[in-house]
Amino acid sequence: MSEIPTTIHGLLAAYRRGQLTPIEVVDHHLAHLARVEPKLNAFAVVDRDGARQAAQHSTGRWQRGDRVGDLEGVPITVKDIVAMAGLPTREGSKVTSELKALVDSPVVARLREAGAVILGKTNTPEFGWKGITDGPAFGTTRSPWNPEFSPGGSSGGAAAALAAGVGVAAHGNDGGGSIRIPASYCGLIGLKPTFGRVPQAPVESPYATLVANGPLARSVEDAALLLNVMSRPDIRDWHAIPHQSGDWRIGLNDGLRGVRIGYTERLGGAAVDPEVRRACRSAVDRLAIEGYDVTELDEVIEPLRPQFEAYWKAGFAHRLRTIPAPRHNDLDPDFRKLAEEGLDVTVAEIDAAYAARARLVARMRRLHLDFDLLITPTMPTPPPRADVVYHSSVFDRWDHAVPFTVPFNLTGQPAASVPVGMSGLGLPIGLQIVANHFREDLILRAARLLLDLLAWRWPDPNLARRIAVLQA
């Protein structure tokens, strides 16, 4: 069997040449998954039978020349926070139903329609509530770069699996940084699209207007292709924006001449670790050296904790009210504590948060009158240890997890993380690229340019050696 390509585009090219078949590729990924999963704990459930059956059908379609879509035979994973017919949706929790979903969520439906082969559902913290991945139902997920460290969250299982070589792309979703955080910690490209770009259902949560589904990928081309597929319309989402036909891959090589770029390391008072600052500044300096229009900015926005902490807790309280009291002891104790505090949040506090959100959107729209792109570190610090206590003095939510990411969930803007360096411990560091609403094209162009300037390629030889150790 030929060597298995590590990107979607490489894999599809091998299929077209007849060098590989989907069943060969999926069997390879399932075998690799079995070797690394004991060390990573990236999956809530592995759908071996379903994946092999889908791969057999896809192999037949390639052989007959009647492939169904742009991801025909591509092995991918789905985060266990959206519905996938035939499997339960546990959301990292012991209190959710074990019944199998009857229908696919919009993003899963689009992936299947495009011919993707879903290997299984990846681990997430309970209800996706935190920026690391551990929980009462499926335990702690670890980074393939070093299992002593966290891959981030809440799409931590997705990122850990993809970085470890399981699947060639991954689905994640992002309500406060949950695609971009693990992309940064795992050395991947993670794109949170404009709110409403990728349909979702149901949309009943108080956080519904913060959440966007999107891709984790190993190349910008792959991320763009996945956005093509994921953004196709679905009538179940009344928040969805009008579908934009076309191909997000067009124009990736157009560069950033004439694009005005603002850079800040102090968004909302965030304090950045020196290693992160060096890596991010080096990448931005490279843009300036190449003659691109880069301006250094100050804080841009005010700290968000005073404006939105009550709103954050109130959303947890909403979920707590849906869970029978006898089951509360089965919850993540830290989630339960915050949710119980949220029971006391008043309508006035919620109204104040909505008003603050409107002001934040207005502030960012004013910024985009002067700057087409805003660039920041994705995370203020390198990855924490896997056993870190979330929202503690060691790893505070507002200070250490989401100061650079959550503003753009509140505004609904598109944002992506791209890998730009390594910490002293050999762990990845990401840079965040933000654009105005509906301008994913600018983000993708910037990501492509930056990674080309930095000569970034997948796979990283250091990661390859570490994965070999995981398999031992």
Element (H, E) at 420: strand 415-422
Instruction: Provide mean pLDDT across the span 188-202.
Output: 97
Count other C-beta atoms under 10 Å from residue 363's C-beta.
15
Amino acid at the residue 264: T
Instruction: Provide mean pLDDT across the span 195-208.
Output: 92
- What pairs with residue 376 in β-bridges? 432
- What pairs with residue 2 in β-bridges? none
Please give the pLDDT value at position 202: 87
User: Token digits for 415?
Assistant: 């944002």
Distance CA 25, CA 307 (A): 49
Please give the pLDDT value at position 204: 80
Task: Identify the three-state secondary structure at position 138.
Answer: coil
Distance CA 466, CA 454 (A): 22
Please give the pLDDT value at position 440: 98
pLDDT digits (tens, 9 = 90+) for 345-392: 999 999 999 999 999 999 999 999 999 999 999 999 999 999 999 999
Q: Is 178 a catalytic residue?
A: yes
Q: What is the pTM of this model?
A: 0.98
The one catalytic residue among 154, 219, 231, 423: 154
Contact 88, 100 (CB under 8 A): yes
pLDDT digits (tens, 9 = 90+) for 80-112: 999 999 999 999 999 999 999 999 999 999 999
Phi/psi region, residue 91 (left: phi>0; alpha: psi -120 to 50; beta: rest), is: left
Q: Is 79 a catalytic residue?
A: yes
Main-chain dihedrals φ then ψ at residue 362, nearest 5 degrees: -60, -40
All domains of the chain, ordered by start, with CATH?
A: 8-304+346-471 (3.90.1300.10)
Please give the pLDDT value at position 251: 97
Distance CA 145, CA 466 (A): 6
Contact 44, 138 (CB under 8 A): yes
Q: How far apart are the first and last CA of the chain?
A: 22
Mean pLDDT of all residues belonging to the chain: 97
Q: Residue 24 to residues 3, 4, 64: CA-CA distances in angstroms?
A: 11, 9, 17
The one catalytic residue among 58, 79, 93, 184: 79
pLDDT band at 1 (very low <50, low <70, confident <90, very high): low
Please give the pLDDT value at position 234: 97
The one catalytic residue among 178, 219, 231, 417: 178
Q: Is the pLDDT of residue 288 over 70?
A: yes
Distance CA 124, CA 141 (A): 8
Please give the pLDDT value at position 457: 85
Of 435, 444, 77, 109, residue with least CA distance to 246: 444
Q: How many CA atoms lie within 13 A of 77 on its CB side?
A: 35
pLDDT band at 458 (very low <50, low <70, confident <90, very high): confident
Distance CA 347, CA 369 (A): 34
Contact 138, 171 (CB under 8 A): no
Whether residue 154 is preceded by a cis peptide bond, meaning omega within 30 degrees of 0, is yes
Q: Is 154 a catalytic residue?
A: yes
**DSSP characters over 24-61:** HHHHHHHHHHHHHHHHH--EEEE-HHHHHHHHHHHHHH
Contact 127, 92 (CB under 8 A): yes
Q: Is the pLDDT of residue 471 over 90?
A: no
